[in-house]
């Protein structure tokens, strides 16, 4: 199905199942331990041996020698895989560094060996017996120090530079202006389930159970890396314990499990040890961001400029932190620039809302600072500069843009009017502050296919390689098929994350929910046609209701259409150029109340509220869960998350969950999520968008702004830990 | 993890004797620290002696009017004990500020005292660390050391002791009862138990090889307002940046020990003497010889401010 004209009324609009806050289908399995994760496929690959990964002890250089003798002789060892004995390996399109290093080392903890043994403990012990001699080389690890050498760099979707009008002239002439620099640190996905895989060979065919967000990309990259045809690989990822962008690609666990299984002639499973999770895998790269905003005295932005510097390994990509600045606020004169340094830290890549998440951390403090300079309320300042058109090409409208409604609704529900000037509110030992920020995230769409089957019992089974990474894909896909076929949810079976299923959008960029359900919609339209035809009904008036197909005076059980054999159809949604004609984005407004301990400067959140306008909400329960998860992750970014770089050795020092702190329950107060009523006919037949990333965009800045309101102190370097506040805080009376 | 053998000891003296027979032996209590370190090959004992069955898990009154806490009493049970809550509030509060409910259910009194540092370089066997590999150097000096010691450290090691409980024990003047391999028992004051790093940061206590902790005793209750204030980067489940254990008497006198600033709970008589004069005076004494790094200098004002806040609370 081609989607190239705005959606009109369709069966989804009935909203009998879609739009209802139903429980997650996979929830019960996950909470009762009956959802098998990639590392637990004892059912499918009994007798799997255990692999243990050895990571490089240096950040850059070469392996001079590797002595495997003691490890090979250790009890239980079945095989040891290294670059030397693995045979010729390619490199995946989506990988920057090689997944198996050696002799050249590209980053700290790059995998250099896999030890396969009968038990996990034996493999771990033997891995400790491998003796490696290195010839370290000098590397670059300091973004700030490399800033002057950074080069313009864009991505497939984003140019290095964008410019409209005369930024320099307008900024120079603006009566009120801000020129400030902000930094965001490297951050880890720190998902609960580490990268994990089980691999089994049957002749030259590989079965790979792996924790992964993008099945088709990953089949392609496994094939490319192993140098085998794609049809030799069966990749399965039905349950994923969190990804956040870290599992958009195959990682060392998958490749090494496959190589280990080949070498040991036995299924092998590999989970990246937690201490490897921070340097072996990808992370959100640090940024330095300079924002310049010029405005008239009444608060109309006349010039807005955003420069962002980030670093990555050679051939890597920039963090596109300027994305939102091109679209969020009006202003005639505009400039954005992306600059990239070569750094020898582990690979930087996508993490929840790449681009906007760190970009909004900077932009939305800058907006708060500007509002303060102008003497305007920060909500009003944003509303004054709202726009219904793409500020770079005013003929291009937003398909839906309810930013102002989000801001106004949030301000009212939160009690924003009670906000005082900085340092005026106190509750016992706590200095209290309110802060807010806009939320913005693009709403891209991707081609997505699905297969649907109808059997004689009237059960509809959906098969698509879409993944559910804890987001609720199983559930919203079932809701979509149920709505389309006039069935209760119980009559729909959803099977996901299998490379033998039609290729979906996958989970990433918050495009998964809208695109994958639209693909299921397309397949169901086809199934409805097949049913009508089979039953000899009139297509024009056929209705799918309560498990029946009704036409004229006839009502036939849906399953009857499959009496002579299962009906199976397949289709895909393909998106035309509506997304080019109209800018499609999601919007929101965050409001936060913090307390700052007057003595110790410890920051504790007291209240959080977000209002989201993000198209049709397919399931308010799972959507809310995505948004509060995002807000929590944003709170981590604001207050504690930072991969600490040892610039002498070139690695992230705090590489476990004790040293890399993420929020715990006690850090997160009451969170409220409001979804504005919205349908977007430009987005897809579902009229939906995505929310999984919107919620993280802006929240950290709202917290930073609330801290400023509480203390009068402006911190521009995340995370806002107490040491950055303490020096400017007067001693409490 | 290195392969190891395992035995259950029948009595404290037997446990100590068994440890002396095997130089590479270690006691295992709750295992919440030791097992983590073994998995990472930071601790590599060849033999484990399980002390969980030694019946050292009761809390009894002493003749002197104090409490004798068995070495195997779990942190949860100790924190919840009525006598502890009534007479030694600082101890209960310190325990509850540490780790998580699950860990405290497992963690023991002796194990808590002997838990090892959380220096990240100590945890990475690729890195030089004098504590883990004597003579290899200290990676934290000149590296990432925001969490590290500001006082009492050495050129060889700037690690801190991570325990909350030990800081409260220090302010309460607890003493440690032990049994040695040959069966001799002794009592060590908590002030003496932990060593400063000096040239041998790998030697963390005065315990001899195979010496088993059997109990920790608390002297008669001293009354006063007993506070524990733990300052950290997140609201729970994090080690202290600094912590303050204080006992403040109605006349303003009192005692204070700090956590998160040194290789052991940090308490000085000279500082206690300044209590009536307030936080600045006390901190001045506690930090007279402080040598912070660029990244952890904030701990000095932070500790002083936290103490000021505690004193204000104590005054009511
Ligand atoms: C995630 C996490 C967070 C934590 N957070 C905190 C925190 O915030 N604050 C805090 O204070 N602690 C914290 N801890 C540490 C925790 O308190 C300790 O791990 C625990 O107290 C150790 O007790 P255990 O009985 O498990 O010791 P074990 O791990 O069994 O032993 C520790 C050491 O003590 C020795 N030992 C044990 N018993 C004896 C004995 N009777 N005689 C002689 N030697 C003995 C062992 O040989 C070993 O060397 C945390 C731990 C974890 C894992
Ligand atoms: S501070 Fe101590 S524990 Fe840390 S690296 Fe230095 S010697 Fe090792």
Spatial CA neighbour of A709 closest among A433, A437, A438: A433
Q: Is A693 annotated as catalytic?
A: yes
The pLDDT confidence band at residue B2, using thresholds 50, 70 and 90, is confident
Beta carbon of B149 within 6 Å of any ligand 2 atom: no
What is the pLDDT, as a whole number, of residue B247?
98
Burial annotation A470-489 (CB, 10 A radius, 16+ → b, else e) = bbbbbbbbbbbbbbbbbbeb
Phi, psi (rounded to 5 degrees) for A461: -115, 130
pLDDT at B23 > cutoff 90: no
Give the closest-approach CA distance of B177 to chain A in angstroms.
31
Provide, as residue numbers in chain A, all residues whose Cβ is less than 8 Å from the Cβ of B127: 649
Output the CA A152–ligand 2 centroid distance in Å. 41
Give the burial class of B270: count Cβ atoms within 10 A of its Cβ; 0-12 exposed, 13-18 middle, 19 or more buried: exposed
CA nearest ligand 1 atom 3, residue? B99
Angle formed by the axes of helices A699-711 and A620-639, to 10°? 50
Sites in chain A below the pLDDT cut of 50: none
Specify burial of residue A151 (Cβ count, 10 A radius: 0-12, 13-18, 19+). Answer: exposed
Considering every ligand atom, which ligand is closest to the CA of B39? 1
**Spatial CB neighbours of A644, under 8 Å, sequence gap ≥ 6:** A652, A653, A654, A659, B120, B144, B146
Backbone φ, ψ for residue A535 (5° rounding): -85, 0
CB under 8 Å to B83, separation ≥6 — which residues? B59, B61, B67
* CA A659 to ligand 2 centroid distance, Å: 15
Q: Which of A721, A731, A732 sits opposite B233 (nearest CB)?
A: A721
B248, pLDDT greater than 80: yes
Write out the DSSP string of B198-262: TT-TT--BSPPTT-EEEEEEE-S---SEEEEEEE-SSSSSS--SEEEEEEE-TTS-EEEEEESSS
Confidence of residue B218 (pLDDT cuts 50, 70, 90): very high
Q: Cβ of B302 and A644 within 8 Å?
A: no
As a whole number of Å, the CA-based R_g of chain A is: 27
Sort out which chain A residues have CB atoms less than 8 A from B232's CB and list them. Answer: 602
Question: Among A635, A624, A634, which residue's Cα sits nearest to residue A692?
Answer: A624
Ligand with smallest separation from the Cα of B160: 2
pLDDT recorded at residue A138: 97
Task: Cite the residue boundaries of each domain of chain A with CATH code 3.30.365.10.
Answer: 2-35+445-575, 381-440+584-726
Q: Ligand 2 centroid to B158 CA: how many Å?
A: 6
pLDDT at B43: 97
Task: Give the side-chain half-sphere CA count within 13 A for A402.
Answer: 18
As beta bridge partners, residue A3 has A575
State the ligand closest to the CA atom of B118.
Answer: 2
Q: Atom 40 in ligand 1: which residue has the minimum CA distance?
A: B213
Q: What share of chain B is helix, strand, coil (3-state, %, to 5)?
A: 30, 20, 50
The answer, yes or no, to whether residue B167 has pLDDT greater than 90, is yes
Higher pLDDT, B70 or A731: B70
Under 8 Å between Cβ of B166 and B207: no
Contacts of A573 (CB under 8 A, 6+ apart): A1, A3, A447, A448, A449, A515, A518, A519, A521, A522, A684, A685
Q: In which band, very low, low, confident or very high, does the pLDDT at B315 lie, cut at 50, 70 and 90?
A: confident
Mean pLDDT over B82-104 rounds to: 98
Cβ neighbours of residue A467 closer than 8 Å, sequence gap 6 or more: A212, A213, A214, A215, A237, A240, A243, A473, A496, A497, A506, A507, A512
pLDDT number for residue A462 = 98
CATH number of A381-440+584-726: 3.30.365.10
Helix (H), strand (E), coil (C) string for A138-196: CCCCCHHHHHHHCEECCCCCCCCEEEECCHHHHHHHCCEEEEEEEEECCECCCCCCCCE
pLDDT over threshold 90, residue B316: no
The residue among A190, A195, A186 whose CA lies nearest residue A53 is: A195
Give B237 Cα–ligand 1 centroid separation in angstroms. 15
Active-site residue identified among A319, A642, A678, A693: A693
Residues with CB under 6 A from ligand 1: A 658; B 26-34, 36, 51, 71, 98-99, 103, 106-108, 110-112, 114-115, 162-165, 212-213, 239
Residues of A with CB under 8 A from a CB of B: 57-58, 75, 121, 124-125, 128, 275, 429, 597-602, 604, 639-640, 644-646, 648-649, 653-656, 658-659, 661, 663-667, 721-723, 726-727, 731-732
**Which residues in chain A have their CB less than 8 angstroms from residue B126's CB?**
57-58
Task: Please list every residue in chain B whose beta carbon sits closer than 8 Å to the beta carbon of residue A649.
Answer: 127, 139, 143
| B126 with A57: Cβ contact below 8 A | yes
Q: How many CB pairs under 8 A join A and B?
A: 100
Q: What is the pLDDT of residue A402?
A: 98
Domain A2-35+445-575, architecture per CATH: 2-Layer Sandwich (3.30)
Please report the pLDDT score of residue A732 as a whole number. 79
CB B121 within 8 A of CB B139: yes
Distance from CA of B233 to the nearest CA of A (A): 6
pLDDT band at residue B293, thresholds of 50, 70 and 90?
very high
**What's the confidence (pLDDT) of residue B29?**
98
Instruction: Indicate if the pLDDT at residue B1 is higher than 80.
Output: no
Q: Which of B123, B144, B236 sits opposite A646 (nearest CB)?
A: B144
User: For position A255, what pLDDT does the model report?
Assistant: 98
User: Which of B121, B143, B305 is facing A599, going by the closest CB pair?
Assistant: B305
Close Cβ partners of A441 (under 8 Å, ≥ 6 residues apart): A324, A353, A356, A510, A585, A586, A690, A693, A694, A697
A-chain residue closest to B302, CA distance: A600
| Among B242, B298, B300, B316, the residue to mutate for chain A (most A Cβ within 10 A) | B298
Mean pLDDT across B127-156:
98
State whether B234 and A666 contact (CB < 8 Å). Answer: yes
3-state secondary structure of A256: helix
Rounded mean pLDDT of B259-280? Answer: 98
Q: How confident is the model at residue B65 (pLDDT cuts 50, 70, 90)?
A: very high
């Amino acid at each position: 199905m081609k989607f190239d004209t705005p959606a009109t009324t369709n069966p989804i609009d009935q909203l009998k199942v879609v739009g209802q806050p139903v429980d997650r289908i996979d929830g019960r399995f996950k909470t009762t331990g009956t959802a098998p994760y990639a590392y637990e496929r004892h059912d499918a690959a009994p007798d799997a041996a255990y692999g243990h990964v050895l990571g490089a002890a240096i950040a850059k250089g070469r392996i001079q020698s590797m002595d495997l003798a003691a490890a090979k002789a250790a009890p239980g060892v079945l095989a040891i895989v290294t670059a030397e004995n693995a045979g010729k390996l390619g490199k995946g399109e989506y990988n920057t560094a090689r997944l198996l290093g050696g002799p050249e080392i590209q980053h700290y903890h790059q995998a250099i060996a896999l030890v396969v043994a009968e038990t996990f403990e034996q493999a771990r012990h033997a891995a400790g017996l491998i003796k490696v001699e290195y010839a370290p080389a000098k590397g670059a690890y300091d973004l700030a120090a490399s800033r002057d050498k950074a080069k313009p760099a864009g991505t497939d979707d984003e140019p290095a530079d964008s410019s409209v009008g005369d930024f320099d002239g307008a900024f120079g002439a603006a009566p009120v202006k801000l020129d400030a620099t902000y930094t965001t640190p490297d951050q880890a996905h720190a998902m609960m389930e580490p990268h994990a895989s089980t691999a089994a060979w049957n002749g030259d065919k590989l079965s790979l159970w792996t924790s992964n967000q993008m099945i088709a990309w990953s089949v392609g990259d496994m094939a490319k890396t192993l140098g085998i045809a794609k049809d030799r690989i069966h990749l399965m990822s039905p349950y994923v314990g969190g990804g956040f962008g870290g599992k958009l690609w195959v990682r060392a666990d998958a490749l090494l499990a496959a190589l280990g299984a080949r070498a040991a002639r036995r299924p092998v499973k590999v989970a990246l040890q937690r201490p490897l999770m921070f340097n072996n895998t990808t992370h959100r790269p640090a940024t330095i961001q300079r924002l310049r905003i010029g405005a008239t005295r009444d608060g109309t932005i006349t010039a807005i400029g955003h420069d962002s510097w980030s670093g990555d390994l050679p051939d890597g990509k920039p963090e596109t932190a300027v994305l939102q600045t091109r679209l969020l606020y009006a202003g005639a004169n505009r400039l954005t620039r992306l600059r990239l340094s070569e750094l020898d830290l582990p690979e930087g890549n996508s993490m929840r809302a790449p681009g906007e998440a760190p970009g909004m951390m900077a932009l939305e403090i800058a907006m708060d600072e500007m509002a303060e300079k102008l003497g305007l309320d920060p909500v009003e300042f944003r509303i004054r500069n709202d726009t219904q058109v793409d500020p770079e090409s005013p003929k291009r409208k937003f398909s839906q843009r309810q930013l102002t409604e989000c801001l106004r609704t949030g301000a009212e529900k939160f009690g924003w009017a009670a906000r005082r000037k900085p340092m005026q509110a106190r509750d016992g030992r706590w200095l209290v502050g309110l802060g807010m920020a806009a939320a913005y995230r693009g709403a891209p769409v991707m081609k997505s296919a699905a297969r649907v089957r109808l059997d004689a019992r009237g059960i509809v089974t959906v098969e698509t390689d879409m993944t559910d990474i804890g987001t609720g894909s199983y559930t919203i896909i079932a809701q979509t098929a149920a709505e389309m076929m006039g069935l209760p949810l119980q009559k729909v079976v959803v099977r996901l994350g299998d490379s033998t299923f039609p290729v979906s959008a996958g989970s990433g960029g918050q495009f998964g929910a809208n695109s994958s359900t639209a693909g299921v919609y397309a397949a169901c339209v086809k199934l409805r046609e097949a049913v009508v035809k089979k039953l000899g009904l009139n297509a024009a008036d056929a209705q799918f209701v309560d498990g029946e197909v009704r036409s004229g005076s006839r009502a036939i059980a849906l399953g009857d259409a499959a009496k002579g054999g299962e009906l199976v159809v397949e289709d895909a949604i393909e998106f035309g150029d509506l997304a080019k004609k109209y800018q499609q984005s999601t919007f929101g407004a965050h409001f936060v109340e913090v307390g700052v301990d007057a003595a110790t400067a410890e920051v504790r959140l007291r209240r959080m509220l977000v209002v989201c306008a993000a198209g049709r909400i397919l399931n308010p329960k799972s959507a809310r869960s995505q948004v509060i998860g995002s807000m929590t992750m944003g709170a981590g970014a604001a207050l504690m998350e930072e991969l600490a770089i040892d610039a002498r050795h070139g690695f992230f020092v705090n590489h476990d969950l004790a040293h890399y702190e993420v929020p715990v329950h006690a850090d997160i107060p009451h969170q409220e999520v409001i979804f504005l009523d919205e349908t977007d006919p430009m987005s897809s037949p579902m009229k939906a968008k995505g929310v999984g990333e919107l919620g993280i965009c802006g929240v950290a800045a709202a917290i930073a702004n609330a801290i400023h309101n509480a203390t009068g102190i402006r911190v521009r370097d995340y995370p806002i830990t107490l040491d950055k506040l303490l020096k400017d805080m007067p001693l409490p009376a | 993890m290195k392969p190891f053998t395992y035995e259950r000891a029948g009595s404290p003296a037997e446990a100590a004797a068994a440890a002396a027979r095997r130089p590479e032996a270690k006691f295992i209590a709750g295992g919440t620290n030791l097992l983590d370190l073994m998995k990472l090959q930071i601790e590599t004992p060849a033999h484990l002696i399980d002390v969980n069955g030694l019946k050292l898990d009761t809390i009894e009154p002493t003749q002197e009017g104090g409490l004798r806490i068995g070495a195997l009493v779990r942190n949860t049970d100790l924190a919840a004990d009525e006598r502890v809550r009534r007479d030694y509030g600082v101890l209960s509060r310190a325990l509850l500020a540490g780790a998580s409910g699950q860990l405290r259910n497992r963690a023991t009194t002796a194990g808590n005292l002997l838990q090892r540092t959380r220096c990240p370089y100590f945890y990475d066997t690729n890195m030089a660390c004098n504590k883990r590999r004597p003579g290899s150097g200290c990676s934290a000096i000149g590296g990432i050391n925001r969490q590290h010691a500001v006082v009492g450290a050495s050129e060889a090691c700037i690690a801190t002791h991570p325990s909350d409980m030990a800081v409260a024990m220090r302010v309460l003047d607890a003493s440690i009862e032990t049994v040695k391999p040959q069966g001799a028992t002794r009592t060590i004051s908590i002030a003496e138990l932990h060593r400063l790093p000096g040239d041998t940061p790998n030697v963390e206590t005065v315990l001899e090889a195979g010496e088993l902790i059997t109990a920790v005793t608390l002297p008669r209750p001293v009354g006063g307002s007993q506070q524990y204030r733990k300052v950290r980067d997140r609201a729970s489940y994090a080690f202290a940046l600094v912590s303050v254990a204080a006992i403040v008497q109605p006349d303003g006198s009192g005692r204070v020990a700090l956590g998160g600033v040194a290789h052991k709970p940090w308490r000085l008589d000279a500082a206690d003497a300044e209590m009536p004069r307030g936080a600045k005076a006390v901190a001045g004494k506690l930090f007279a010889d402080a040598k912070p790094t660029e990244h952890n200098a904030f701990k000095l004002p932070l500790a002083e401010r936290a103490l000021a806040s505690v004193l204000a609370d104590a005054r009511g």
